[in-house]
Structure 1
Amino acid sequence: MSQDARNEIRAFITAKFPRMTFTDEQDIFALGFVNSLFAMELVMFIEKAFGTRIPNEELNLDNFRTVARMADLVRRQQSAATAR
Structure 2
Amino acid sequence: MKQNDARSLIREFISPHVNGHSLADDDDFFALGYVNSLFAMQLMMFLQNEFKLVLTPADMHFDNFRSVNGLVRLVTSKATA
TM-score, normalisation: structure 1: 0.88
Greater Rg, structure 1 or structure 2?
Answer: 1
Please report how far the alpha carbon of residue 60 of structure 1 lies from its aligned counterpart in structure 2 after TM superposition.
2.1
Structure 1 residue ranges (4+ consecutive) displaced by more than 3 angstroms after TM superposition: none
In the other structure, the counterpart of 2:50 is 49
In the other structure, the counterpart of 2:20 is 19
In the other structure, the counterpart of 1:9 is 10
Q: Structure 1: give runs of 5+ residues left out of the alignment.
A: none
Q: Structure 2: give runs of 5+ residues left out of the alignment.
A: none
Question: How many percent identity over aligned positions?
Answer: 40
How many residue pairs were aligned?
Answer: 80
Q: Give the CA RMSD over aligned residues.
A: 1.1
TM-score, normalisation: structure 2: 0.90
- Partners in 2 of 1:10 and 1:55 — Cα distance? 23
